[in-house]
């Protein structure tokens, strides 16, 4: 297993955690491979694979310029990238774009997902690609180019003449040629490059070699027009390379190799990670929130267990055992949390089981890390220690979700954070990573805004901080929110980061703190902390709720008012939740792309 957390965790989730419970739904428009989510005659899987090639194809490998770098988003009108598929695909990918998932990494994941859902090999994907900020060079091979030019172009990309043949065959096993883009080559809507447009099989070479192909880049009008590029490429070594690919397992193995090579052509300076593998045990969406009264911290989230090789029916339960703030076992009452299966999820090759965690941790003793034990029904158990390092969790900085809120239609945003009192002298910063549409481009720009948060009331062992901002761009729900304590970028900075704005409520709830402000001295969880000051019960009221009414004479009316307010804020929350559910950015994108989809 990889060690958690890792810089590729978000990519791992998009790549593997696809369907059902907590599914990221990244494969929805390309799985099944026959999915024509964008219209008849348009296999989205083929469009995704072709996008990978066209983005890479302008690379100058020797010079370390270009490659899979997302530059194609700026080059859709240059005449080399014909067809609506590039735009459609980039718009879909944009829904997953974030500081942790570049468009170029998403294009690479798209190659994996599309090829695999069509029955092709598992293409290892490394993460860490960096997106270009503007257009790159031109140079995508076109059907009318001659073989000498093809060889030159592929050599520029870093491919040998043999690899040129292989990667073209591997690409053209999916999809085909469209009359809208190449009316001189095909009539009707689409003619496949082989008889199985939605299967990653070797028919593209067998049909060619057996002379029963209808590939428009081999036979038909293309021959007289000099646009029979597949024919000229395939027989450029006397059919030697394609003949070797007639063996189906060889075809798959060759394609795995050259397609991995294709997505690993990156500009100089880009450092790719190890191939992204699914975790056996992964904490998902773990969140700490200071509870009302400030005496305890709510720990929520899920432990995701990969059940591909471990049938979920054999699992009795899962136990999370945690360490207190100082790494000891003083957890108030018990240091263990037991969970039973809540839901199942799937990837293309994997199944997952989710074990929900919802527990109260003493604010006095806190939490710093945990390990996981899976108890099996046969009495044995499995231990997961995160490669001996325990799964780390910090309780110094928390985004207070119930006390934070976002009005999605206006972008009006209030953030509340709880910072542990031992960090009271350090700056607290709000970082919002937000997206703003760009005229004529399929992918909105990604921007960062930072501002320092105002210190508010001390509520026991923690102090609340707040900040308000209006998120511009009209897609505020696609933002990610970080709370950082300490100088940004310094070694001792601690952050509660990458919080999904779409999960914030539409109105901020008030917070009722403790009456005593207390100092936190690390290394003393066992001892009571010193009281440094005593204040009235600290109440933080929500900025978007009316001020509380203090009128004892009208207590019954106030009671009714409170009930009414509770009801209306619940109603607001519900409305917001429903709006998020239906119009959350990813889903909204999906709805767009699924129009016309036949299920
Ligand atoms: C000399 C090299 C190549 C040339 C000249 C070429 C040319 C073409 C042309 C003209 C089309 C038809 C597009 C349309 O009408 O929608 C096409 C489709 C396609 N190409 Fe290539 N191609 C080459 C190499 C590759 C490579 C290396 C890959 C990927 C590994 C690839 C993947 C695809 C895919 C998947 C389609 C089907 C797209 C769809 O159905 O929407 N091609 N290619």
Domain coordinates in residue numbering, the chain: 31-263, 281-392, 397-583
Taken as a whole, the chain contains a residue count of 599
- Global ipTM: 0.99
H/E element, 143: none
What local confidence, expressed as pLDDT, does residue 514 receive? 78
More confidently predicted of 577 and 266 = 266
- DSSP single-letter state for residue 509: P
**171, 53 Cβ separation under 8 angstroms:** yes
Residue 170, ligand 1, Cβ within 6 A: yes
The predicted model gives 2-29 an average pLDDT of 97
For 27-57, what is each residue's pLDDT tens digit?
Answer: 999 999 999 999 999 999 999 999 999 999 9
Q: Which of ligand 1's atoms lies nearest the C-alpha of 47?
A: 41
What local confidence, expressed as pLDDT, does residue 308 receive? 96
Residue 153, ligand 1, Cβ within 6 A: no
For 482-506, what is each residue's pLDDT tens digit?
Answer: 999 999 989 999 999 999 999 999 9
Residue 83, ligand 1, Cβ within 6 A: yes
Rounded distance from Cα 122 to ligand 1 centre (Å): 20
Query: Which pair of tokens denotes residue 470?
Result: 């209006």
Q: Which of ligand 1's atoms lies nearest the C-alpha of 167?
A: 27
More confidently predicted of 351 and 574 = 351
Nearest one of 179, 210, 209, 213 to 193, comparing CA atoms = 213
Q: Tell the residue nearest (CA) to atom 30 of ligand 1.
A: 171
Please give the torsion angle defined by the CA atoms of residues 67, 70, 71 and 74, in that order, rounded to the nearest 10 degrees: 160
For 155-196, what is each residue's pLDDT tens digit?
Answer: 999 999 999 999 999 999 999 999 999 999 999 999 999 999
Q: Which of ligand 1's atoms lies nearest the C-alpha of 181?
A: 15
Q: Which of ligand 1's atoms lies nearest the C-alpha of 42?
A: 41
Tokens 């009302």, located at residue = 292
What local confidence, expressed as pLDDT, does residue 229 receive? 98
Q: Which of ligand 1's atoms lies nearest the C-alpha of 150?
A: 1
What local confidence, expressed as pLDDT, does residue 540 receive? 52
Please give the torsion angle defined by the CA atoms of residues 481, 487, 489 and 490, in that order, rounded to the nearest 10 degrees: -140
Nearest one of 56, 71, 180 to 108, comparing CA atoms = 56
Query: Which pair of tokens denotes residue 582?
Result: 């239906």
Banded model confidence at residue 333, pLDDT cuts 50, 70, 90: confident
Phi/psi at 370 (nearest 5 deg)?
A: -150, 165
Residue 46, ligand 1, Cβ within 6 A: yes
For 104-113, what is each residue's pLDDT tens digit?
Answer: 999 999 999 9
Rounded distance from Cα 236 to ligand 1 centre (Å): 18
The residues, ordered by sequence, that sit 6+ positions from 280 with a Cβ below 8 Å of its Cβ are 1, 305, 306, 384
Helix (H, G, I), strand (E, B) or coil at 389: coil
Rounded distance from Cα 171 to ligand 1 centre (Å): 6
**220, 176 Cβ separation under 8 angstroms:** no
Expressed in angstroms, the distance from the first to the final Cα of the chain is 36
CATH number of 281-392: 2.60.40.2440
Q: Which of ligand 1's atoms lies nearest the C-alpha of 182?
A: 15
Rounded distance from Cα 204 to ligand 1 centre (Å): 12
Residue 325, ligand 1, Cβ within 6 A: no
Rounded distance from Cα 172 to ligand 1 centre (Å): 6
Helix (H, G, I), strand (E, B) or coil at 338: strand
pLDDT at 122 over 90: yes
Residue 175, ligand 1, Cβ within 6 A: yes
What local confidence, expressed as pLDDT, does residue 349 receive? 97
The predicted model gives 3-11 an average pLDDT of 97
- DSSP single-letter state for residue 500: E
Rounded distance from Cα 248 to ligand 1 centre (Å): 21
The predicted model gives 552-576 an average pLDDT of 38
Residue 172, ligand 1, Cβ within 6 A: yes
Alpha helices in 100-247 (DSSP H): 103-117, 147-157, 161-171, 203-209, 221-225, 229-234, 240-244
Query: Which pair of tokens denotes residue 150?
Result: 């093809």
Tokens 């000498």, located at residue = 148
**417, 401 Cβ separation under 8 angstroms:** no
On the question of a cis peptide bond just before residue 487, with omega within 30 degrees of 0, the verdict is no
Rounded distance from Cα 161 to ligand 1 centre (Å): 17
Residue 229, ligand 1, Cβ within 6 A: yes
Nearest one of 423, 316, 464 to 376, comparing CA atoms = 316
Rounded distance from Cα 17 to ligand 1 centre (Å): 29
Q: Tell the residue nearest (CA) to atom 28 of ligand 1.
A: 171
Look at 146-160, 523-537, 541-555, 564-578 and tell me which has the smallest mean pLDDT.
Answer: 541-555
**369, 323 Cβ separation under 8 angstroms:** yes
Q: Tell the residue nearest (CA) to atom 39 of ligand 1.
A: 175
Q: Which of ligand 1's atoms lies nearest the C-alpha of 170?
A: 30
Query: Which pair of tokens denotes residue 76?
Result: 């859709």
**What does pLDDT average to over the chain?**
89
Banded model confidence at residue 525, pLDDT cuts 50, 70, 90: low
Nearest one of 102, 105, 112 to 48, comparing CA atoms = 112
Bridge partners, residue 373, by sequence: 319, 383
- DSSP single-letter state for residue 559: H
On the question of a cis peptide bond just before residue 5, with omega within 30 degrees of 0, the verdict is yes
Q: Which CATH architecture has domain 31-263?
A: Orthogonal Bundle (1.10)
Residue 47, ligand 1, Cβ within 6 A: yes
Query: Which pair of tokens denotes residue 98?
Result: 């974030």
| Cα 593 from Cα 35, distance rounded (Å) | 11
Q: Tell the residue nearest (CA) to atom 13 of ligand 1.
A: 177
């Amino acid at each position: 297993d990889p060690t958690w957390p890792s810089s590729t965790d978000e990519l791992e989730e998009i790549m593997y955690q696809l369907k059902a419970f907590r599914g990221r739904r990244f494969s929805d428009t390309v799985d099944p491979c026959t999915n024509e989510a964008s219209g008849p005659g348009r296999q989205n899987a083929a469009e995704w694979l072709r996008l990978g090639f066209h983005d890479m194809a302008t690379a100058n490998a020797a010079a370390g310029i270009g490659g899979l770098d997302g530059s194609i988003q700026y080059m859709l009108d240059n005449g080399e990238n014909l067809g609506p598929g590039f735009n459609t695909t980039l718009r879909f990918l944009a829904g997953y774009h974030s500081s942790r998932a570049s468009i170029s990494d998403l294009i690479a994941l798209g190659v994996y997902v599309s090829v695999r859902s069509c029955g092709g090999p598992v293409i290892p994907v490394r993460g860490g690609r960096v997106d270009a900020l503007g257009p790159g060079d031109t140079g995508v091979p076109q059907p009318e180019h001659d073989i000498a030019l093809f060889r030159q172009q592929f050599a520029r990309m870093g491919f040998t003449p043999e690899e040129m043949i292989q990667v073209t065959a591997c690409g053209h096993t999916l999809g085909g040629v469209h009359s809208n883009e190449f009316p001189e080559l095909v009539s009707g809507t689409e003619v496949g490059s082989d008889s199985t447009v939605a299967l990653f099989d070797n028919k593209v070479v067998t049909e060619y070699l057996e002379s029963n192909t209808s590939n428009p880049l081999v036979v038909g009008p293309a021959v007289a027009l000099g646009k029979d590029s597949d024919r000229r490429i395939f027989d450029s070594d006397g059919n030697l390379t394609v003949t070797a690919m007639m063996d189906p397992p060889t075809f798959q193995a060759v394609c795995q190799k050259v397609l991995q090579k294709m997505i690993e052509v990156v500009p100089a300076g880009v450092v790719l990670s190890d191939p992204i593998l699914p975790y056996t045990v992964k904490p998902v969406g773990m969140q700490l929130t200071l509870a009302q009264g400030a005496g305890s911290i709510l720990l929520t989230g899920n432990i995701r267990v990969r059940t591909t090789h471990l049938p979920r029916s054999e699992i009795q339960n899962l136990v999370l055992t945690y360490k207190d703030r100082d790494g000891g076992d003083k957890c108030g009452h018990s240091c263990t949390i037991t969970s039973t299966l809540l839901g199942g999820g799937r990837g293309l090759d994997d199944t997952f089981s989710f074990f929900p965690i919802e527990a109260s941790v003493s604010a006095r003793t806190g939490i710093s890390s945990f390990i996981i034990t899976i108890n099996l029904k046969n009495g044995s158990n499995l231990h997961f220690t995160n490669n001996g390092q325990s799964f780390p969790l910090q309780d110094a900085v928390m985004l207070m979700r119930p006390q934070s809120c976002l009005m999605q239609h206006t972008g009006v945003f209030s953030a509340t954070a709880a910072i542990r009192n031992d960090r009271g002298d350090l700056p607290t910063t709000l970082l919002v990573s937000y997206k703003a549409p760009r005229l004529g481009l399929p992918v909105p720009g990604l921007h960062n805004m930072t501002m320092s948060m105002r210190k508010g009331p001390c509520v026991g062992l923690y102090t609340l901080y707040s900040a308000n901002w209006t998120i511009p761009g009209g897609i505020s729900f696609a933002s990610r929110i970080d709370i950082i304590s300490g100088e940004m970028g310094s070694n001792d900075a601690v952050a509660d980061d990458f919080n999904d704005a779409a999960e914030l409520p539409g109105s901020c709830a008030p917070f009722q703190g403790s009456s005593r402000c207390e100092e936190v001295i690390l290394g003393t969880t066992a001892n009571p902390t010193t009281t440094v000051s005593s204040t009235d019960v600290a109440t933080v009221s929500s900025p978007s709720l009316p001020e509380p009414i203090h009128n004892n004479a009208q207590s019954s009316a106030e009671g009714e008012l409170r009930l009414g307010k509770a009801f209306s804020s619940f109603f607001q929350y519900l409305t917001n939740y429903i709006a998020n559910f239906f119009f959350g950015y990813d889903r909204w994108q999906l709805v767009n792309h699924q129009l016309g989809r036949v299920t």
